[in-house]
Amino acid sequence: MSNAKAKPLGLVFFPAFDWAISPTHPEREERLLFTRDQVLEEGLLDLPQIREYKPRLASIADLERVHIGVPDIASLITDAHRVSAGGAITAAESVLRGETAKAFALVRPPGHHAMRVVHGTRGFCTVNIEAVMIESLRRKYGLRRVAIVDTDVHHGDGTQDIYYHDPDTLFISFHQDGRTLYPGSGFPNEAGSPAALMSTVNIPLPPGTTDQGLHAVLDELVLPMLADFQPDLIVNSAGQDNHYSDPLANMAVTAQGYARLAEKLRADVAVLEGGYSIEDALPYVNVGIILAMAGLDYRRVLEPDLDRAPVQSAATTAYIGKLIADWQGKWANREQLRRSALAAAGNSWKRERDIYYDDSQIMEHQRESIHYCPHCPGYMAISTESSGSRTGDKSAFAVVLQQESCLVCRERGKDALIKAKRQRDHQYFVLQDKKEDSCGRI
């Protein structure tokens, strides 16, 4: 139990009551209405253990610290995206300024399907609000090691993409198995590019997983991994669609399961992601998470229809047990796995993918190359082409220079960009320079 002197939970509640992807889309005005009602009726905003903050507007520069928008990020977003990303930053800053013990950005629209390169909206996400928050904190507060635990039912493929090459960011996602659910990714073999191998951890769970399975994964895998990684900051992408009543997925977690997870995870900042059982789950799950994060008693937060929550099958329990054991083995060997992957990669590492934007009906084809350097994290080049956008096909070539890229790599990266521009194979040429904190066309 917290006492009056303990720091409160910072809460940014931003339901965006005037914003929707479309009138009947799951991401619509009504989504957090019943959550607001429950939060107000319980009188949570009156508690001294909870302090509400008004979200700030994230700037375009905040977004471009993470994203490369094609043609540019400003033309792809609405004001709501700047508020929700700004809300995540506001929440996190309340913690880093020492005003709050933890913070919860209960905001929409969500962000964890938004990747580094953005052509449109996918999985209801356009900008990755956690990544925008984390990069803002790194810039302003000098944080280095960050762990993100994505507890949404969908694989956080956008966050994974953004941190796939970053050994300082541990990204752990457990989700309903991609063979049975959007976005169809998030398998254990997606574990990071060689220099960051094993800093991406995917734990695909079978449909029907309950509190029992989720807490087994948490206790035996996620919490020990966090203890090993020793992050400066723990972020929870707090999607709520693992709930047994969620209409878009097939899991069986309860409000109690989520609240206990929040209590055990002790995230510094939680950021709402998905969750579309807006009447039967969200009011209870959100109240549970808020109480748990504020150090208050959440044990009486129970869904009225709790008796219809399924029980986990023995097969599912066994499957999850094996999944945990496999991961424990790999995790124990992570240093060695990374070393051999780097040795095998040589000077560079490449991947080529198709990325589908379901909300914008855009198909992107992307080629990424990481150029390694013995003295620094190297640099990255990205070639991207998209088709299907209402504003026509687009292409861009981008070079990303890291904060610690050495002078030689900086020159090489810029050369690669100039060379690409001369070849005129793309429409736009973008330099994202993390040292200069700039992103722009050349």
Partner 1 sequence: MLVGIDVGGTYTDAVLLDAGKVIRQIKVASEHGQVLASILTALDEILQGIETQCIERVALSTTLVTNAIVQGKLDPVGLFIMPGPGADWRGRLAAEPLVLSGYVDHRGRERQEIALDEVKQTCKKMAGVKLFAVSGKFAVRNPAQEQKVAGILAAAMQPLHIACGSTVSGNLNFIRRTNSAYYNAAVWQRFQDFADAAAAALAERGVQAPILILKADGGTLPLAKARELPVESIFTGPAASVLGVMGLCPPAKPAVSLDIGGTTTDIALWKGGAPLMDAKGAAINGYLTAVRTFRLHSIGLGGDSWLRRDGDRLLIGPERKGSAMALGGAEPTVTDALIVAGLSDFGDRGLAEAAIQRLVFPGKSLQETAQVIIDQAAEIVANAVREMLAIEAAAPVYKVEDIVRPELLRPELLIGVGGGAAGLTPLIAEKFKLAWQVPPLAMVANALGAALARPTLHISLRADTAAGEYTVPELSLRLPLNDRRYSIQQAVKQAALHLQEMAAAAGITADEIETTFGEEFNLVRGFSTVGKIVHVGVQIKPGIIAGLIDAAATGGAGT
Distance between CA atoms of residues 275 and 240, nearest Å: 4
Tokens of 370: 């990481």
Distance between CA atoms of residues 195 and 343, nearest Å: 10
Give the nearer residue to partner 1 in terms of CB position, either 77 or 149: 77
Residue with the two structure tokens 């066994």: 318
* HSE-CB of 17 using CA atoms within 13 angstroms: 6
Give the nearer residue to Zn ion in terms of CB position, either 178 or 274: 274
Tokens of 378: 């190297």
Cβ at position 401, least distance to partner 1 in Å: 32
- Per-residue binding string, Zn ion, 30-59, x by CB under 5 A, is ------------------------------
The only residue of 156, 158, 239, 413 in contact with Zn ion, by rule CB under 5 A: 239
- Per-residue binding string, partner 1, 356-395, x by CB under 8 A, is ----------------------------------------
Of 204, 38, 32, residue with least CA distance to 109: 32
Catalytic residue among 67, 113, 371, 426: 113
The only residue of 72, 93, 135, 152 in contact with Zn ion, by rule CB under 5 A: 152
Give the nearer residue to Zn ion in terms of CB position, either 175 or 426: 175
Distance between CA atoms of residues 262 and 298, nearest Å: 11
Binding to partner 1 in span 242-281, by CB under 8 A: 247, 279
Cβ at position 323, least distance to partner 1 in Å: 33
Distance between CA atoms of residues 356 and 334, nearest Å: 31
If residue 52 lies in a helix (H) or strand (E), which one and from where to where? strand 50-53
Binding to partner 1 in span 289-348, by CB under 8 A: 291, 296-298, 300-302, 304
Rounded to 5 degrees, what angle do the CA atoms 272, 361, 369 make? Answer: 80
Q: How many CB atoms lie within 10 A of CB 205?
A: 22
Active site residue 113: yes
Looking at residue 17, the DSSP 8-state letter turns out to be: T
Tokens of 301: 């937060």
Give every CB contact of residue 382 below 8 A, 6+ residues apart in sequence. 68, 116, 117, 366, 367, 368, 369, 396, 397, 398, 399, 400
Instruction: Tell whether residue 124 is a contact of partner 1 (CB under 8 A).
Output: no
The only residue of 216, 296, 373, 416 in contact with Zn ion, by rule CB under 5 A: 373
DSSP helix/strand/coil, 104: strand
Alpha helices in 230-364 (DSSP H): 255-265, 282-293, 314-332, 334-345
Binding to partner 1 in span 79-98, by CB under 8 A: 79-80, 83, 86
Distances 336 to 329, 347, 395 between C-alpha atoms, Å: 12, 19, 38
Cβ at position 308, least distance to partner 1 in Å: 13
The only residue of 8, 10, 15, 257 in contact with partner 1, by rule CB under 8 A: 15
- Per-residue binding string, partner 1, 28-47, x by CB under 8 A, is xxx--xx-xxx-xxxxx-x-
Instruction: Tell whether residue 74 is a contact of partner 1 (CB under 8 A).
Output: no
141 and 184 Cβ atoms separated by less than 8 Å: no
Report what 239 binds from Zn ion, partner 1, none; CB cut-off 5-8 Å by kind: Zn ion
Report what 372 binds from partner 1, Zn ion, none; CB cut-off 5-8 Å by kind: none
Residue nearest to Zn ion as judged by C-beta position: 274
Instruction: Tell whether residue 18 is a contact of partner 1 (CB under 8 A).
Output: yes
DSSP helix/strand/coil, 153: coil
318 and 205 Cβ atoms separated by less than 8 Å: no
Report CA 162 to chain centroid distance, whole Å: 9
Binding to partner 1 in span 142-161, by CB under 8 A: none
Cβ at position 343, least distance to Zn ion in Å: 18
Cβ at position 13, least distance to partner 1 in Å: 6
Report what 16 binds from partner 1, Zn ion, none; CB cut-off 5-8 Å by kind: partner 1
Q: Which residues bind partner 1 (CB under 8 A)?
A: 12-19, 23-24, 28-30, 33-34, 36-38, 40-44, 46, 52-55, 57, 78-80, 83, 86, 247, 279, 283, 287, 291, 296-298, 300-302, 304
Binding site for Zn ion (CB under 5 A): 152, 154, 239, 241, 274, 373, 375-376, 406, 409
Active site residue ranges: 113
